[in-house]
Amino acid sequence: MIEKLNLLQQHALAALGDVDGLAALDEWRSQTLGRKGELSSLMRGMGKVPAEERPAVGQAANEVKATLEAAYETRRLSLAEAAQREALQRDAVDVTLPGRAAEVGRLHPETQTLREIYAAFADLGFQVYRSRDVELDEYNFQLLNFPLHHPARDMQDSFYVASPEGTEGDVLLRTHTSPGQVHAMREVVAQAKADGLGDNELPPVRIVLPGMCYRNEQITARSEIQFLQVEGLAVGKKITMADLKGTLHYFVRRLFGPQRKLRFRTSYFPFTEPSAEVDMDCILCEGSGCRLCKYTGWLEILGCGMVHPTVLRNGGYDPDIYSGFAFGMGPERITMLKYGIQDIRYFWSNDLRFLEQF
């Protein structure tokens, strides 16, 4: 019996030497040491061993079992180590290879232009005032002194939306940023009144009002149904047209260079009186005439004027005490001039080939 045990140990150790992986090792273990394995079946013959030899056989069997288990554990560790080494080698990263650059986002050209505009006016003390996109007809037209039958109020030209009260033609997507003028003035006046200030003690207003505007127009290279507008408003005592001209000269020269010249042409807007359109000398030909300026030497860039007394009164400011100026511009137009962009439709079509150029 002891001889058989020694033989079993010899064979088992030899077989263990041939085991080449963790799966084969598991199989070796159940064949050798398992409940139905070779050692167990040999020990089932213990009954036939004479009683006086049994302690010696039992001890020998325990020693064989301990030896095989120790050999198994050693083998298992070395196989596991080899497997791990192999896995590390397989998944190794070559740190000397060049990396893939992360895609960097960028600001929309309009955002860049808006920030330049804000910065220029911030240096003159103007704050940004944001107004709502959806407006009442009252704010979009009536309070801004639009006559009842003004062509801009034509239902065909504006995007009207259903109002909660169900009244038709009352609520619309703003067609310009000017309704924000009345909102802003009324807010300042309401706060001043709450603070107990009198009609001739109202604080001044100096704001720029940016935002998207909407008009039901034919979409072409020069006009879109949605476009940005930036409006400016200054209200206070003794504000004159000279202040307006100085402000716009500073602004245009800040964006387009210190040598720019401006030309003011009389014009008409319902909410300003007098009104003017502002041209700057052509940035491409410096005024000698080219395709960009249609050979006039001038580029139209702004509309402006002195705030109409009716609008001042609607905002809560007495036009006998206060005056103000307002101006409006299209950031798309400014961006197009700055970068020589030919088609306004690029701005909101989200074509990366366009956007990635800025």
Q: Which residues bind Zn ion (CB under 5 A)?
A: 282, 284-285, 290, 292-293
- Write the burial class of residue 356 (CB in 10 Å: 0-12 exposed, 13-18 middle, 19+ buried): exposed
Closest-CA residue to 222 (of 316, 306, 120, 347): 347
Q: What is the DSSP letter of 144?
A: G
- Least distance from C-beta 279 to Zn ion, angstroms? 11
- Least distance from C-beta 300 to Zn ion, angstroms? 12
**Cα(73)–Cα(70) distance, rounded to whole angstroms?**
5
**Cα(29)–Cα(24) distance, rounded to whole angstroms?**
9
Nearer to Zn ion, 282 or 337 (CB): 282
Nearer to Zn ion, 230 or 283 (CB): 283
- Least distance from C-beta 336 to Zn ion, angstroms? 14
- Least distance from C-beta 247 to Zn ion, angstroms? 25
Nearer to Zn ion, 228 or 293 (CB): 293
Contact 209, 232 (CB under 8 A): yes
Q: DSSP assignment of 161-229, as one string?
A: E--TT--TTSEEE-SSSTHHHHHHHHHHHHHHHHTT--TT-PPPEEEEEEEEEE------SS--SEEEE
**Cα(244)–Cα(232) distance, rounded to whole angstroms?**
10
- Least distance from C-beta 109 to Zn ion, angstroms? 22
Q: Nearest to Zn ion by Cβ — which residue?
A: 282
**Cα(331)–Cα(336) distance, rounded to whole angstroms?**
8
Closest-CA residue to 297 (of 307, 286, 308, 305): 286
- Least distance from C-beta 249 to Zn ion, angstroms? 20
Nearer to Zn ion, 270 or 297 (CB): 297
- Least distance from C-beta 223 to Zn ion, angstroms? 21
Contact 186, 106 (CB under 8 A): no
Nearer to Zn ion, 34 or 289 (CB): 289
Nearer to Zn ion, 287 or 319 (CB): 287
Helices (H) and strands (E) counted in the chain, each on its own, are 11, 10
Element (H, E) at 347: none
Nearer to Zn ion, 207 or 337 (CB): 337
